[in-house]
Amino acid sequence: MAHNKSYTLGELASLLNLKLVGDEQCAIHSLATLKNATPGQLSFLSNPSYINQLESCNASAVIVDAKFADACQASALISESPYVSFAEATALFDDSPAYEPSVHPSATIHSSVEIPDTAYVGPNVVIEPGAKLGADCVIGSGCFLGENVTLGKNCFLHSNVSIYHRVNVGNNVIIHSGTVIGADGFGFAFDGKKSVKIRQLGSVLIGNDVDIGSCTTIDRGALEDTVISDGVKIDNQVQIGHNCKIGEHSVICGCTGIAGSVTIGKYCVMGGASGAVGHINIADKVQVSAMSLVSESITEPGIYSSGTWHMKTSQWKRSNIRFQQLDSIAKRLKELENPTDKN
């Protein structure tokens, strides 16, 4: 939806399908946090920890759950899920640049490629033989689409995205700058003297409604394909190894590293800078805490963590010494619990 300069609260209530308590003619021109909002802006409360900011908020209106409406000094838009409603509101105020359908003269496009009339292809784009673009795609400057790449409808590739040969991308996919899809998986066989490269013969399949952040890499499969399912959201600087399968609507947070042949279920969350060793399975609805390493398969839903809490360096050093002594302590404890009869 195109950005409008302002909306009345009545219009916002209708567009967001929310109940309005307050002045329906009040004009809203932008969004803001509870702490920094000023008149003419819309804010939201999703975390009860910020309830004290609600009472002093200067926004003209706030998206809130019904149970907090009485604490709101401004007009209120009542929502069962304020954070989701806020997300929907951001689309109304989105001021990202609009791209008119066109092909920049500096783009290099193979003669076999048909560009839809509704697509935008920016400066210095390279599109190789056999590639296919769906309607309403935006291909930002400097992007590379290899042979036989397929993009579905309404895909948005920001500048300098590289998609290697035979990668298949679904509809409504957003890929941010610097990301590489379909590079070789890290596969080598050691012959006793040197590493022999294993040619990566698979590809990458990306479903519909997937978002991929900046400078992320998703490797192609060795024999079968790497699969990113519908609705998956991937943050910046994520590494996904060859032959991984990421289930529907899972979220992979920034700086996560996933080794090859890992299967992650549906509705999972891999916290920031977390990792997974290769050839394991993670069940549906698993949440892995930030900076945790998953070193074996997880078979039940739940929240999983590894590592230790931060502490002062002097305390960490003492704890590390104790950690190294655990094996000998366990042996001594076993001897105390089961003394040998020396008589």
Number of neighbours of residue 19 by Cβ within 10 angstroms? 11
Q: Are strands 75-78 and 19-21 parallel, antiparallel or unpaired?
A: antiparallel
The residues, ordered by sequence, that sit 6+ positions from 4 with a Cβ below 8 Å of its Cβ are 92, 93
User: Which of 73, 92, 111 is a domain's end point?
Assistant: 92
- Write out pLDDT tens, residues 147-205: 999 999 999 999 999 999 999 999 999 999 999 999 999 999 999 999 999 999 999 99
Q: What is the pLDDT of residue 342?
A: 52
Question: What's the rounded Cα separation, in Å, for the pair 190 and 209?
Answer: 40
Confidence check: pLDDT of 255 > 50 = yes
Maximum CA extent, the chain: 96
Mean pLDDT, to the nearest integer, of 121-147?
A: 98
Percent of residues, the chain, with pLDDT higher than 90 = 88
Q: HSE-up of 193 (CA within 13 Å, CB side)?
A: 0
My answer on whether 173 and 78 are in the same domain is no
Q: What is the pLDDT of residue 339?
A: 73
In a domain, 206, yes or no: yes
Closest by Cα among 240, 210, 225, 245 to 166 = 225
User: Which of 92, 122, 151 is a domain's end point?
Assistant: 92
Q: Which long-range contacts (CB under 8 A, 24 or more apart) does 259-268 make?
A: 260/185, 260/186, 260/187, 260/219, 260/222, 266/229
Confidence check: pLDDT of 3 > 90 = no
My answer on whether 63 and 170 are in the same domain is no
- Write out pLDDT tens, residues 62-79: 999 999 988 888 999 999
Q: What is the pLDDT of residue 137?
A: 98
Q: What is the pLDDT of residue 307?
A: 85
The residues, ordered by sequence, that sit 6+ positions from 286 with a Cβ below 8 Å of its Cβ are 264, 265, 268, 269, 298, 301, 302, 303, 304
pTM above 0.85, yes or no: yes
In a domain, 86, yes or no: yes
In a domain, 49, yes or no: yes
Give the residue numbers spanning the domain of 170. 161-336
Of 3, 165, 176, 242, the active-site residue reads 242
My answer on whether 85 and 171 are in the same domain is no
My answer on whether 73 and 222 are in the same domain is no
Structure-model confidence comparison of residues 250 and 335, the more confident one: 250
Average pLDDT, the chain: 95
Q: How many domains does the chain have?
A: 2
User: Which of 92, 122, 153 is a domain's end point?
Assistant: 92
In a domain, 280, yes or no: yes
Helix (H) or strand (E) holding 211: strand 211-212
My answer on whether 88 and 173 are in the same domain is no
Contact 288, 272 (CB under 8 A): no
Q: What is the pLDDT of residue 308?
A: 81
My answer on whether 31 and 179 are in the same domain is no
Q: What is the pLDDT of residue 335?
A: 87
Confidence check: pLDDT of 1 > 60 = no
Q: What is the pLDDT of residue 2?
A: 47
In a domain, 304, yes or no: yes
In a domain, 139, yes or no: no
My answer on whether 222 and 325 are in the same domain is yes
Contact 291, 275 (CB under 8 A): no
My answer on whether 76 and 179 are in the same domain is no
My answer on whether 187 and 272 are in the same domain is yes
My answer on whether 27 and 175 are in the same domain is no
My answer on whether 231 and 332 are in the same domain is yes
In a domain, 105, yes or no: no
Find the range with the poorest average confidence among 53-57, 216-220, 289-293: 53-57
* Residue 242 is a catalytic residue: yes
Q: What is the pLDDT of residue 92?
A: 94
Confidence check: pLDDT of 5 > 80 = no
CATH number at residue 300: 2.160.10.10
The DSSP letter of residue 3 is: P
My answer on whether 78 and 170 are in the same domain is no
In a domain, 134, yes or no: no
CATH number at residue 36: 3.40.1390.10
